[in-house]
Amino acid sequence: MNTFISKTENIKSLYQDEIVNSLKRIKEPDYRANQLINWIYKNYANSWDEMTNLPIALRKKLSEMFILYSSKLVKVQCSDDLTRKFLWQLEDGEFVENVLIPANPALYGEPDDRMTLCVSTQVGCAYKCKFCASGLLGFKRNLNAGEIVEQILAVERWAINEKLPELENKKRLINNIVFMGMGEPLANYENLIRAIKIINAQWGCNIGARKITISTCGLVPEIRQLATEKLQLRLAISLHAATNDVRSKLMPINKKYPLENLMEALRFYRMNKSGMITFEYILIEGVNDSSEQAAKLAKLAKPLRTKVNLIPCNKVEGLDFHSPSETVQKQFLNVLKRNGVTATLRKEKGANIDAACGQLRLKTESEIKHNTIKT
Ligand code: SF4
């Protein structure tokens, strides 16, 4: 149990019983904790003064004990397909991003009311995948659980203030979470799992575990650990190549955990969990888009009953990768389908708003450096 109380603690890092215990320690009854939780998770309060049914003295005490929100909005970009990208500045001046993605029949094959938030788990990333903007500035720090949970609440509060039409007839805006923003989620394991339990809890964000996807570049020990958690989450593997030689060139992590080890960990995961596993595969012209790679990818995917998401490469400033032609993309998809693998070719979303993870932060840090920031 986390009994740590200091001004530096974000209250959204705490479980329900920890909030109850914190209030007990200052001689407040349990129902005050429930009122407080409702203000945070149901009413999206972002100042203690908004919590009008709490006594003023208690609000003051809480403000000395906890941080309520530790980030402020710096930028929002909206693309033609209504994908919205947010840049937040944290208390220590660092930046994180997240992306709000509306369901799109062209993307999922059928109309639905999915509203996905792509959430960050670290500032920067240590894994240096060659196609990724997040890796370009290196790793700065892990986000704490509160900073992870806060991304959902802050975007929902923003949507309420903006009176977003997508909110109509909905209790809350976001019903699907993908940990595919900045950072490697499994490298921040403890904070990630704590955040997920709060996101999943009925008293918290109340988003079902099966609507939560963790994406990893392939940290083998943590995939095995995840297989032992009680939560039935979805797992997405950033695969991006079907042979060690190609994958090691794109993703340095492959030298530490080559494909054989990764597939073994996934077999273990599959034995313990029924949730869906997907392989994410960014198609990069001349690098990993050959029919041979497609055939080998099918051999990896089929025994694990893994779905493959093909993603045409996004253009990232500072990176020299390009998307293959549509013909090559479709050929690649057809090889997978002929081999009995469920696969989709994703339509590029948010292409005009730097939607690949880390792009907006990268641009903003460069603008700050050159004193040309635009909001
Ligand atoms: S793809 Fe993921 S693991 Fe790789 S550098 Fe980017 S954020 Fe890190």
Q: Which domains, and CATH codes, for the chain?
A: 11-65 (1.10.150.530), 71-369 (3.20.20.70)
Start-to-end Cα distance in the chain = 41
Q: How far is the CA of 346 from the centre of ligand 1 (A)?
A: 19
Residue 129 near ligand 1, beta carbon < 6 Å: yes
pLDDT in tens, 279-320: 999 999 999 999 999 999 999 999 999 999 999 987 766 678
Token digits of residue 249: 């060139």
| Set 9, 94, 97, 156: catalytic member | 97
305 CB burial (10 A radius; 0-12, 13-18, 19+)? exposed
Q: Is the CB of 123 under 6 A from ligand 1?
A: no
The 3-class secondary structure across 124-141, one letter per residue, is ECCCCCCCCCHHHHCEEE
Catalytic site residue 357?
yes
User: Which of these ranges, 4-13, 228-237, 311-320, 356-365, has the smallest mean pLDDT?
Assistant: 356-365
Q: How far is the CA of 16 from the centre of ligand 1 (A)?
A: 32
Q: What is the mean pLDDT of residues 31-52?
A: 97
Does ligand 1 have an atom closer than 6 angstroms to the CB of 186? no
What percent of the chain stands above pLDDT 70?
87
Query: Is there a contact between 225 and 268 (Cβ–Cβ < 8 Å)?
Result: no
Is there a catalytic annotation at residue 190? Answer: no
Our mutation pick for probing the ligand 1 site, out of 119, 130, 186, 217, counting the most ligand atoms within 8 A of Cβ, is 217
Indicate which atom in ligand 1 lies nearest the CA of residue 128.
5
Instruction: Give the helix ranges, DSSP H, for the chain.
Output: 16-25, 30-41, 56-65, 105-108, 145-161, 189-200, 220-227, 244-250, 253-256, 259-272, 291-301, 326-338, 359-369
pTM, entire model: 0.90
184 lines ligand 1 (CB under 6 A): yes
Atom 4 of ligand 1: nearest residue by CA position: 129
pLDDT at residue 67 tops 60: yes
Higher pLDDT, 256 or 6: 256
For 201-210, the CB contacts below 8 A with 24+ separation are 201/15, 201/16, 203/16, 203/37, 203/41, 204/16, 204/41, 204/149, 205/41, 205/149, 205/152, 205/153, 205/172, 205/174, 206/41, 206/172, 207/152, 207/174, 207/175, 207/176, 207/177, 209/233, 210/234, 210/275
**Residue from 129, 132, 205, 357 carrying the catalytic annotation:** 357
Return d(Cα 330, Cα 324) in angstroms, integer: 10
Q: Is the pLDDT of residue 154 over 90?
A: yes
Please state, in angstroms and rounded to a whole number, the distance separating the CA atoms of residues 215 and 300.
18
Adjacent-strand bridge partners of 73 = 88
pLDDT score at 275: 83
Which residue's alpha carbon is at the smallest distance from atom 7 of ligand 1? 183
Mean pLDDT for the stretch of residues 355-367: 52
